[in-house]
Structures are given as structure tokens and as C-alpha cells.
């Protein structure tokens, strides 16, 4: 009986495993079925959309062609009318002159016949008057009538090759693509933004430019956010925890038209945007508080972030939109453990920064390595990662961050030793004189 129980347990275990395997198999099949349904839906919807686009485009073409042909016909008919009127006018004038001459000749004939066949008593007087009138009218003067070869003979010259040219162009106009040459590849969350990457999937396609568009999932229209030759772009002003739809297309080398759009994909960021602290007298902020301008106020100090929103493992970017006329050695951009008021620079303890002349400071001490000066258009990035977690003690120096500061294609790398574990950090800037304007993301 013991062996029977063991055998039964084994059989039950095998049966249970088979049931679990069957359930897992069914889930996989159902998932693949959903994938097939999505694929079928994409084919059907894209085919319907393509039909609508083609019909609309060719209907617009037909309407435009008819309008153009009607306008050209009207122009040619008006030209015929103008030539006809201009050519008939001198003939009409000549006809009036001839008809007047015929009428005069008729009157003269009647008067001459009366004079010849009239009473004998008045015959000499009538004959004399008739002869004078005949001499006055100048019966040998005749108006000039143009010959047929000298007057216009209108005709229409119509080149039949236009139809051939149009036919060849129309037969080559438009293509139907089953797959776009570029597709979206990756979405990387950024504070208040998304880094979008795309790639070319057609080996024969040679791209010249890319075009990225996006829209909120609730919006009806896409809008351009980037056009250029790069294959990635950081889309800013993205609301956290909101779905956005993205699509990309490309323009072939030497071509004017854009390729079909990629399959739209959803992207989202959970990271709140970086913001400067409002209210500091020396600085004016943009509406989104991600741009700070050093104003004309005489007040000086460090402008900090509103919250410690920079986390290790991320890239913090400062873009110098404008540079001030008067740089100062105390000017700086950087990262710190905590906000400390009363300082006029980040060149202090528990902070790392770069000055506008390119000097790098760690805990207030200047490094020997130096970066290029920060000027208008410069981009400075900070990257940090934890490299050592020591035992918790009161001696300090138990937490180390590997810091990389990059500016104008050069970088410095160093270890920043702190006496406490820092999951998130503040960022800040300080400028002594007005005119400096910096964007953070």
C-alpha cells in the first residue's frame, strides 16, 4: 500500500505538472492569437486608410486637372475672341466706306440719268451741275480691300504629346509600400521628456532626413517635433504618466517626398520634469520653470532646483541658450547634495560643478583637468553612478560616486566621495552678471 501511495503521489504530481504546462501552453497560444488579431487589425486598418488616402488624392488631382484644363481652354477662347475682334474691326470700317461709296454712286447715277433725259430747257444747267459733282466725288478713287492671304486665318495648334507625357507621369505617380523604411526602436524616460530612437529597416533605402511626430493619446492630430539627420531626439515638455503616440518617416537621398510613416507606438515617462526654484530675486524663469535667465538685479546667489530630481544613472543636461557679456570665475553649473543658502557659487563643499571658463570643482577644490569654456549654444552633461558603498560609520567617506562631466565633445571623469548615501541630488547654477540663460533637462 505504501508503494501504491507513492505511485499515486507521483502520478498526481506528474498530472499537476502536465496541467500547469497545458495552462502555460494555452496562455502562450492565447497571447499569440492576440498578436495575430493585432496584426490582422493593423493590415486591415492600414489598407482601409491607404485606400482612403489614394481616393482622396486622385479625386483632388482630377478636380485640379479639370480646373486647370478649363482655365486653359477659357484663356485660348479669349485669345481667339481678341484676334477675331481686332481683325474684323478694319474690315468693318472698310465695308462702311464701300457701302457709303455705293450709295453715293447710286445717287450720282440717278442725277446723271435725270440730267440726260430731262427737259431741254433745264438740260444744260443740270448737265453742268452733274459734271461738277462727278468731278468732285473722284470716281477713280477706290478703297483698298485686303487679299485673303493678308488677313488672319485662325487655327488651333494642339500637341498630342501632352497626353503621352501625362500618361507616362500618371502611370508612375504614387506607390504602395507594404513596410515603411524606418521604424521606432526605443523609448528612454527622461525627466519631463522622452528620448526617442529609431532605425532604418530597409537595407536598400538611403535616408537623407528623418521626421518625427508625436501627439497626446487624447489628441486627434500629430505635430512635427524633429526634422533632421539624427536617429534619436529628446522630446521635451512631456507630461509625466501620460501616454504619447509617436511615428517617424524618412526622405530618401535626393528625393522631395517623405516615405510612409512607421507603425505608431506609445511612449510615456514617469519622471517629473526638472524645474528651477521660483522666487529668487536674481533670476527670471520660463513658464515651465526649466529655463532660468540671470536678470539685471544686483542680488546674487545660487539658483537651485525645486526638488532633488536628479537620480544617479540618469544624464543631467544644461544647455546654455545665451551667454552673458561678463563671465566671472565664480559662475558655475553643477550638482549638490543639499540646498545651502548664503553662497554665491556652487564651488563649495558637497557639490561638483563646472565654471563658465571650463574649470571643474569638486567639493570646492579646482581640478587640474579643465574643459572648454561654456558659451552660448554649449551643452554640459553630468552622469553619475554609485561605485562604492562602504560600511555605515561616523568616519565619513563611505559613499562614492563616479562622475562624468562632458562639454563640447570633451569630458572629465572622477570619483566624488561623500559621507552619506545620496539617492537623489539637487542641481544649481550661479551667475554674477546678467545675460546668462540656461535650459535644464
Q: What is the per-residue pLDDT across 422-435, written as a single tens digit (0 to 9) for each?
A: 888 999 999 999 99
Give residue-wise pLDDT tens across range 225-240: 999 999 999 998 899 9
Give the range among 108-122, 173-187, 383-397, 402-416 with minimum mean pLDDT.
383-397
Give the range among 135-139, 144-148, 253-257, 375-379 with minimum mean pLDDT.
135-139
Nearest residue to 317 via CA among 230, 432, 438, 198 = 438
Looking at residue 254, what DSSP letter applies?
T
- Which of 36 and 146 is assigned the larger pLDDT? 36
Sheet hosting strand 207-216, strand order edge to edge:
223-228, 207-216, 244-252, 265-267
> Distance (Å, rounded) from C-alpha 197 to C-alpha 212?
10
Give residue-wise pLDDT tens across range 357-372: 999 999 999 999 899 9
pLDDT at residue number 372: 93
Do residues 196 and 187 touch, judged by C-beta distance below 8 A?
A: yes
> Distance (Å, rounded) from C-alpha 226 to C-alpha 210?
8
Q: How confident is the model at residue 397 (pLDDT cuts 50, 70, 90)?
A: low
What element of type H or E holds 399? strand 399-407
pLDDT score of 123 more than 80 = no
Task: Please report where in the chains the cell 531626439 appears, as a residue.
Answer: 233
Counting residues of the chain whose pLDDT is more than 70, the rounded percentage is 96
Q: What is the mean pLDDT of residues 13-18?
A: 94
pLDDT score of 152 more than 50 = yes
Structural domains in the chain, CATH included, are: 13-172 (no CATH), 182-269 (2.60.40.10), 283-389+397-440 (2.60.120.920)
Sheet hosting strand 232-236, strand order edge to edge:
182-190, 193-200, 232-236
pLDDT score of 389 more than 70 = no
Q: How confident is the model at residue 120 (pLDDT cuts 50, 70, 90)?
A: low
Give the range among 67-71, 245-249, 272-276, 398-402 with minimum mean pLDDT.
398-402
> Distance (Å, rounded) from C-alpha 315 to C-alpha 383?
5
Counting residues of the chain whose pLDDT is more than 90, the rounded percentage is 57
Cβ neighbours around 22 below 10 Å, total: 10
Contacts of 129 (CB under 8 A, 6+ apart): 115
This prediction's pTM:
0.60
> Distance (Å, rounded) from C-alpha 314 to C-alpha 336?
15
pLDDT score of 303 more than 50 = yes
pLDDT at residue number 117: 78
Q: How confident is the model at residue 5 (pLDDT cuts 50, 70, 90)?
A: confident
pLDDT score of 253 more than 80 = yes
Max Cα distance, the chain (Å): 177
pLDDT at residue number 390: 54
pLDDT at residue number 393: 45
Amino acid at each position: 500500500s505504501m508503494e501504491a501511495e507513492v505511485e499515486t503521489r507521483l502520478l498526481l504530481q506528474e498530472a499537476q505538472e502536465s496541467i500547469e504546462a497545458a495552462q502555460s501552453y494555452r496562455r502562450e497560444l492565447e497571447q499569440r492569437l492576440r498578436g495575430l488579431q493585432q496584426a490582422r487589425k493593423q493590415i486591415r486598418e492600414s489598407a482601409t486608410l491607404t485606400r482612403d488616402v489614394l481616393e482622396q488624392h486622385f479625386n483632388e488631382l482630377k478636380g485640379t486637372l479639370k480646373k486647370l484644363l478649363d482655365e486653359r481652354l477659357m484663356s485660348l477662347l479669349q485669345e481667339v475672341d481678341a484676334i477675331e475682334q481686332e481683325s474684323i474691326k478694319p474690315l468693318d470700317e472698310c465695308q462702311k466706306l464701300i457701302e457709303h461709296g455705293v450709295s453715293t454712286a447710286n445717287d450720282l447715277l440717278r442725277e446723271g440719268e435725270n440730267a440726260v433725259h430731262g427737259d431741254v430747257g433745264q438740260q444744260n444747267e443740270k448737265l453742268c451741275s452733274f459734271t461738277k459733282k462727278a468731278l468732285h466725288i473722284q470716281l477713280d478713287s477706290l478703297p483698298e480691300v485686303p487679299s485673303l492671304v493678308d488677313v488672319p486665318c485662325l487655327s488651333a495648334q494642339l500637341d498630342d504629346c501632352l497626353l503621352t507625357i501625362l500618361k507616362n507621369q500618371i502611370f508612375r505617380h504614387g506607390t504602395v509600400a507594404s513596410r515603411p523604411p524606418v521604424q521606432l526602436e526605443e523609448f528612454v524616460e527622461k525627466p519631463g521628456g522622452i528620448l526617442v530612437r529609431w532605425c532604418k529597416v530597409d537595407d536598400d533605402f538611403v535616408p537623407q532626413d528623418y521626421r518625427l511626430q508625436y501627439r497626446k493619446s487624447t489628441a486627434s492630430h500629430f505635430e512635427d517635433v524633429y526634422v533632421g539627420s539624427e536617429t534619436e531626439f529628446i522630446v521635451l515638455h512631456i507630461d509625466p504618466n501620460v501616454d504619447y503616440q509617436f511615428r517617424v518617416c524618412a526622405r530618401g537621398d535626393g528625393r522631395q517626398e517623405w516615405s510612409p510613416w512607421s507603425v505608431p507606438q506609445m511612449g510615456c515617462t514617469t519622471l517629473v520634469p526638472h524645474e528651477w526654484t521660483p522666487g529668487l530675486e536674481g533670476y527670471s524663469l520660463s513658464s515651465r520653470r526649466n529655463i532660468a535667465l540671470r536678470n539685471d538685479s544686483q542680488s546674487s546667489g545660487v539658483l537651485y532646483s525645486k526638488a532633488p530630481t536628479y537620480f544617479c544613472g540618469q544624464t543631467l543636461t544644461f544647455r546654455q541658450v545665451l551667454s552673458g557679456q561678463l563671465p566671472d570665475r565664480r559662475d558655475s553649473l553643477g550638482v549638490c547634495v543639499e540646498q545651502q543658502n548664503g553662497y554665491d557659487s556652487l564651488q563649495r563643499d558637497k557639490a561638483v560643478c563646472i565654471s563658465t571658463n571650463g574649470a571643474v570643482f569638486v567639493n570646492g577644490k579646482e581640478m587640474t583637468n579643465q574643459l572648454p569654456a561654456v558659451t552660448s549654444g554649449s551643452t554640459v552633461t553630468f552622469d553619475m553612478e554609485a561605485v562604492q558603498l562602504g560600511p555605515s560609520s561616523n568616519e565619513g567617506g563611505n559613499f562614492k560616486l563616479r562622475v562624468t562631466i562632458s562639454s563640447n565633445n570633451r569630458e572629465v571623469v572622477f570619483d566624488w566621495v561623500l559621507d552619506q548615501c545620496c539617492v537623489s541630488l539637487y542641481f544649481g547654477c550661479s551667475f554674477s552678471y546678467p545675460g546668462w540663460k540656461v535650459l535644464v533637462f
